[in-house]
Chains A and B, each alone.
Chain A
Amino acid sequence: MLKKSRLEEVADLLSDRTSPKGIKQFYENTGIFQDDFIQIEPMKFDGHTYAIDGSNVVICSWSVASLNWIRAGYVKYCDRAWLRTVITYDDAFLAAAEEYAEEFSPYLVGIFGLEVLDLEETELERLSSYFRELQEYVALLDALRSARSGDLILYDGGFAHWKSRLLKGALGVILKEAEEQNIDVLGVSKSNTFAWGPDFSRPFVQFAGLVGSLVAPRKPWYICLSKKNIRPNPDGWDGKIYVVRFDGGSDNAFRVDAPSFVADRIGYTLGKLINCACSAECYGYPHALFRAHREIRIKDQEKNAEKLKFLNLLSQRGLTEFQLRSLLLDFHDVIEVKSRGII
């Protein structure tokens, strides 16, 4: 059992965040003050909004490698009306140390004009995540190429510190093109790790949301995190990070990353977005991202169907059920005495 005193201590720390004392402390500790909450004015926008998302599920894994299903694409909206969904990648990916170069190259080299990828040993574990990310960037580039000056592209994820990322090359191409064509690109994250507080890590975005409700009730607003005292450091890259409340009626705020050329006109860019972030389905979140998520996500049913198909192929090639089990078994499931589903 956990010690009660310890639980009480943490409960105190977390609960004081909503007290007036907590808010004062927030101002003092983060360096964010009332004036930093900037109200977003809606902008008339008759261009198109694109939202990019990707999905990655394991079809089958056998400790040293895995077969994944990856899907990436985007949705296109004009104001509140959906126009189309484009799937740019929807296929299997073999995440194996010997194979990955072949899988990445057509995109990295062929599409982005970059070098062949050479991964460190430690990076191999995240192979399928990298590939999904790459495919999201491909989708982003495809959206970019069909967009017109003034359009808005939303990406489900972040851009911060992109230059130190594995796929920096691809992002470099995208952001450069977006800037040249005058297209706004924003990364909107559903989760983040920002924290504040001297002695104890309090969740930053949620707290900022609460404070925002007090200082700008029922208004959409944003705060810029540059030079503010939060962890991890939001600065040190060619862009800015914001916390945004897209709709005054919503309780949620989101982290938004903007490359510097968008950060220069952030109020205007966010103004284009707020008319479409108040749908009944997903109030307070950009609706295009909501639709992209639902449309591109690989559903459990789909995954299970493909998994069965694959196991079938293996058994057609002579593998017995026993062999399949010993090959594909995750021992965690045995220890947890879990039902093992299809395998």
Chain B
Amino acid sequence: MTLKDSSLIEKKENQKGLDGLLQTKIIETKDTTYRIIAKNVSEYHFTVPFEVHDSERVEVGQIFSIKDKGLTFLARVIDIRHDSNYDGNWDTTFTGTQFFDQSQIFNRVIAEPLGCILEGKFKKCKTLPTKFSLVKRAEEYEFSFLQEVMGDIEIGYLRNGSMAVEQIPVSIHSTAIDHHIGIFATTGMGKSNFMKVFAASCMQLAARNESKFGLLIVDPHGEYLKGKGPVKGLMHLKRYSEGLVCYSIDRKNFSDPGVAELSISISEIEAGDLSVLYDWSAAQRDALEAIARVFESCWLERIQKPDGINKMVSEGFNATTMGVISRRIKNLLEKNRYIDPVRSSLPGIISNLQDGRVVLIDIPRMSEQSELFLLSILSRYILEKYKEESSVEQKNCLITIEEAQRVLGTGSNTYRFETIAREGRKFGVGLCAITQQPKLIDKQLLSQINTFVVMGLADRNDRVHLEESARHDLSSLDIEIQTLEKGEAIVSTLGIPFPVPAKIHSYEVYLKKLEKEGRTDERLVSGGRFKPIFD
């Protein structure tokens, strides 16, 4: 940099030195920080003072804006480093005097461009800000363009570093859900909370008849229905209870008017549904596949009886094999009391989903195998119905799978879910895969998921696995993902031009907000007796 050309340093040029005889340049401004100094279209560097007040500290994830003539560039901090104007190890030879030139030492902030705003419109950056452009913390109004690209299912607020920007809610598009959703977080980082917030927003839409899809949640932990202690459940959202339908296997809940008893009719179970239950041998598998062919109806009842076994044996299947199958099936019916000779909740579940409601299936204390079995029946049934009725006026459907690595993992033998991941979109069926170990999810399936809600992930392999299959490039956000705290997320989804940092609502707080929102005004106006003076 020649001193002559520098715009970095404010200068008083043409000062007359020595009684007006000299053309001197005086360099006085110390503040050369908060200016773009490097580097290219995909990475900006700027400097900040090396020592600042706590409130002015720069954090990974914060968003800065760079006004440069007609353009406003927005960039998110991805790393911060110590730096100085000196080469060499001047700082390691520091001899304890605490004396150094403050203006020569600074922190270098590395930021990734989000995009730029031109005449109020947001677009990707194809250029970079002029060197030495001023950098400022982005202000709320500069995010307002984001409101235009946001969807209809509110999940939280925009997050700037660790501060929530309450003016800008973050919402996912309903149209993105049949492209599948993935929720990834280490245990305790807020997956369940996220799901409740998501479901609450869906309930709100459904109650207003604005929802575009039905949401199925199978809850093996019994935490979504009524919560536990201070942790609230979906039933606490009374205002939009019309948007929610609950089925439970827990007697305690049956007395509740909003909860129906779950039942699956025995005739609705297919041999293929059993495949998730046990590690079947090849011979057993063959036999299972043949059952439906051999018995035209009531196979489940008949295979439990000696004549049923005999019939299979006469078809050439091994008696021991059939014995094992028969025993296992007895066992299954024993354990899954919701399997009923006649009654079935399935038609109701389907029609509620088709109407766009949230359907919660509460199965506390059910074994993992039984849970998968149920989920497997439900998914098959849903996919079949949606295939059959794809021409009918029906809303899309999103199936939630907890611990999704169990069924979407590499080498897992649950083709049913993989089929939905690959083909569901054609029929309007999407998956919402929740997992704490994304690294176990098959890469190809992961790449079918177009909405990522990434919360804190401690394991490097998990992050790398996600980064490699995400729709948006998340690799530069690695440091941020590592440092995400409970409830903080990065949301990469269709329709929003960059991965959005979000602070997911706390369900309990969101609940209060939903219950209150717009209420007072309505009451005041409808009451008719009292009119607000300011209108």
A residues with CB within 8 A of B: 71, 73, 80-90, 106, 110-111, 138, 141-142, 145, 249, 276, 278-283, 287, 291, 294-295, 301-302, 305-306
Contacts and interface: CB of A to CB of B under 8 A. Distances in A.
Contacts, number: 85
Given A88-B22, A88-B24, A138-B18, A82 B97 contact: no
B24 A86 contact: yes
A278 B86 contact: no
A38 B30 CA distance: 38
Interface stretch (B100-108, B113-121, B421-429, B504-512): B100-108
A305 B4 CA distance: 13
B331 interface: no
Contacts of A111: 18, 21-22
Task: Give 5 closest A-B pairs by Cβ, nearest first.
Answer: A280-B100, A85-B27, A87-B25, A280-B94, A278-B97
Nearest to B91: A280
Interface of B (DSSP majority class):
loop
Given A111-B18, A142-B24, A281 B2 contact: no
A294 to B, nearest CB: 8
Given A82-B103, A86-B17, A279-B97, A142 B22 contact: yes
A82 B101 contact: yes
Nearest to A288: B101
B99 A80 contact: yes
B52 interface: no
Interface string B382-412: 0000000000000000000000000000000
B93 interface: yes
B257 to A, nearest CB: 74
Interface of B: 1-4, 17-19, 21-22, 24-28, 30, 85-86, 90-91, 93-95, 97, 99-104
A84 B24 contact: no
Nearest to B28: A84
A276 B100 CA distance: 10
B85 to A, nearest CB: 8
A138 B30 CA distance: 25
Contacts of B95: 249, 278, 280, 283
A302 B30 contact: no
9 contacts: A73-B24, A87-B3, A111-B21, A111-B22, A138-B18, A145-B19, A279-B97, A281-B104, A283-B97
Contacts of B101: 82, 279, 281, 287, 291
Contacts of A86: 17, 24-27
Contact of B2 (A294, A295, A302): A302
B31 to A, nearest CB: 12
Contact of A110 (B21, B28, B85): B21
A82 B86 CA distance: 16
Given A87-B3, A249-B95, A283-B93, 7 more contacts: A85-B28, A87-B25, A88-B24, A111-B22, A279-B100, A279-B101, A287-B99
Nearest to A141: B18
Contacts of B94: 280
Contacts of B1: 301-302
A281 B86 contact: yes
A287 B100 CA distance: 9
A277 B4 CA distance: 30
Contact of A281 (B4, B21, B24, B90): B90
Contacts of A81: 102
A142 B18 contact: yes
A289 to B, nearest CB: 12
A237 B86 CA distance: 39
Contacts of A145: 17-19
Nearest to A278: B97
A280 B99 contact: yes
Among B2, B85, B93, B94, find the residue whose CB has the most chain A CB atoms closer than 10 A: B2
B22 A90 contact: no
Nearest to A281: B90
Contact of A88 (B17, B27, B30, B102): B17
B104 A84 contact: no
A282 B102 CA distance: 14
A83 B28 contact: yes
B49 to A, nearest CB: 14
A111 B22 CA distance: 9
Contacts of B97: 278-280, 283
B74 to A, nearest CB: 32
Contacts of A301: 1
Contacts of B100: 279-281
A301 B95 CA distance: 32
Please indicate which of the listed interface residues A87, A90, A110, A291 has the most CB atoms of chain B within 10 Å of its own CB.
Answer: A87
B99 A279 contact: yes
Contacts of B22: 88-89, 111, 138, 142
A162 to B, nearest CB: 20
A287 to B, nearest CB: 7
Contacts of A306: 2
Nearest to A145: B18
A22 to B, nearest CB: 28
Nearest to A87: B25
Contacts of B86: 281
Nearest to B86: A281
A138 B99 CA distance: 30
A88 B271 CA distance: 93
A281 B98 CA distance: 11
B3 A90 contact: yes
B216 to A, nearest CB: 64
Nearest to B25: A87
B202 to A, nearest CB: 59
B24 A87 contact: yes
Nearest to A142: B17
Contacts of A276: 99
B523 to A, nearest CB: 63
